[in-house]
């Protein structure tokens, strides 16, 4: 199998033969939208891990744009699969930041939500334990392991958790159609023992590293790949009918928005590769905001470009619109923009 959405084309190929000039392939795709992977998301990601297809270049290794391009290509074909693939790749990068390797053959996620209290790491006479409820755990029933971020007395701790532990309870909590295939639910930790060697790094090991910010930009590449898939859909009828100028103008607008965000991803990847020990917080926040805005432009304009007949006739387009609409809320809108504005002012003083 291959996770590249273009059959027979190696994932390292660039559209113009030059490395690092774009994260996305042409938008809209000349061949039209790609079909989702035939297998379920969990099986698809497990097979990809077994085949080494998710052994991506690490952030800051000199090939960050290639890493993001591969994630964007997966998202362009199947966003729920990309959600799981990005989580696995992020976990591998986190472990590498701490000179650790993943358990061979295991599929990983990163469960870091602090909503509702999150996980708790405490020590006692019987050794360290994990308790609490972690929300929004993608791959709840599908993954082998997860890096769990847990509150502790000295900040947070990061634990490489075996999800086969009997004290790990899955609770159905996702009832939306969008991203339902990513198997995102709540996980309750009932006094889970933490074996020796499964704590990764020291206090605040998850956030106290440049890779935390770098990974946030990688998520934005996934968003943009999903937006490109929607543009691929809505462009198809414009090639076979006599489109009116308004629909053509809307297509031009979404193409421009996606292309501009793509270009900024490439610039950000180059900055990270040039100075990987720097978190590049402002650059990452900027590219995340730019990609989020481009995706919102696509989500707003796509129904107008498509028209009622296309919207009503394509379950896949409807699913992709719903998936991106909810997944994009990983960006916190005005709150994140306010933080960026504050940082921009501070940098100028």
Q: Which of 229, 217, 205, 270 is nearest to 32 (CA)?
A: 229
Least confident of 93-102, 116-125, 258-267, 291-300: 116-125
Looking at the chain, the whole-number percentage of residues with pLDDT higher than 90 is 89
Instruction: For residue 58, report the phi and psi dihedrals to the nearest 5 degrees.
Output: -75, 150
What confidence category does residue 7 fall into, taking pLDDT thresholds of 50, 70 and 90?
very low
In angstroms and rounded to an integer, the radius of gyration of the C-alpha atoms of the chain is 20
For the cut 50, the answer to whether the pLDDT of residue 6 exceeds it is no
Question: What domains can you pick out in the chain, each with its CATH number?
Answer: 23-98+205-349 (1.20.140.10), 108-200 (2.40.110.10)
pLDDT at 2: 61
pLDDT tens sequence across 148-166: 999 999 999 999 999 999 9
Q: What pLDDT is recorded for position 139?
A: 98
Phi/psi at 38 (nearest 5 deg)?
A: -70, -30
* pTM for the structure as a whole: 0.94
Query: What whole-number distance in Å separates Cα of residue 2 and Cα of residue 5?
Result: 8
pLDDT tens per residue across span 65-97: 999 999 999 999 999 999 999 999 999 999 999
Can you read off the two tokens belonging to residue 2?
Answer: 């291959």
pLDDT digits (tens, 9 = 90+) for 253-289: 999 999 999 999 999 999 999 999 999 999 999 999 9
The residues, ordered by sequence, that sit 6+ positions from 204 with a Cβ below 8 Å of its Cβ are 155, 156
Tell me what pLDDT residue 10 has.
33
Angle, to 10 degrees, between the axis of helix 41-50 and the axis of helix 79-97?
40
Instruction: Output the pLDDT for position 242.
Output: 81
pLDDT tens-place string over residues 171-212: 999 999 999 999 999 999 999 999 999 999 999 999 999 999
Q: What is the pLDDT of residues 54-70, one digit of tens each?
A: 999 999 999 999 999 99
Alpha helices in 155-209 (DSSP H): none
């Amino acid at each position: 199998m291959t996770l590249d959405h273009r059959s027979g084309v190696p994932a390292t190929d660039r559209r113009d033969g030059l490395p690092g000039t774009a994260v996305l392939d042409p938008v809209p795709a000349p061949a039209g939208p790609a079909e989702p992977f035939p297998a379920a998301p969990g099986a698809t990601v497990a097979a990809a891990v077994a085949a080494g297809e998710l052994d991506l270049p690490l952030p800051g290794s000199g090939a960050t744009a290639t890493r993001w391009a591969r994630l964007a290509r997966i998202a362009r074909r199947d966003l729920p699969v990309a959600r799981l693939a990005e989580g696995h790749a992020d976990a591998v990068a986190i472990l590498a930041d701490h000179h650790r390797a993943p358990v061979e053959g295991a599929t990983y996620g990163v469960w870091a939500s602090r909503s509702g209290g999150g996980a708790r790491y405490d020590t006692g006479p019987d050794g360290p334990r994990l308790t609490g409820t972690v929300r929004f755990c993608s791959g709840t029933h599908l993954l082998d392991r997860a890096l769990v971020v847990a509150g502790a007395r000295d900040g947070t701790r990061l634990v490489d958790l075996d999800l086969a532990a009997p004290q790990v309870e899955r609770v159905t909590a996702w009832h939306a159609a969008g991203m339902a295939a990513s198997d995102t639910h709540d996980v309750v930790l009932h006094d889970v023992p933490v074996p020796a060697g499964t704590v990764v790094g020291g206090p605040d090991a998850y956030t106290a590293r440049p890779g935390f910010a770098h990974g946030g930009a990688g998520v934005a590449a996934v968003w943009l790949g999903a937006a490109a898939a929607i543009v691929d859909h809505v462009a198809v009828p414009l090639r076979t009918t006599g489109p009116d100028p308004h629909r053509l103008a809307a297509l031009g607008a979404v193409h421009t928005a996606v292309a501009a965000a793509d270009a900024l991803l490439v610039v950000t990847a180059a900055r990270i590769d040039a100075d990987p020990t720097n978190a590049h917080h402002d650059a990452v926040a900027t590219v995340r905001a730019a990609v989020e805005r481009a995706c919102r432009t696509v989500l707003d304009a796509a129904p107008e470009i498509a028209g009622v007949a296309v919207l009503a006739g394509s379950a896949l387009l409807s699913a992709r619109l719903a998936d991106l609409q909810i997944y994009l809320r990983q960006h916190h809108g005005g709150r994140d923009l306010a933080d960026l504005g504050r940082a921009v002012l501070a940098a100028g003083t």
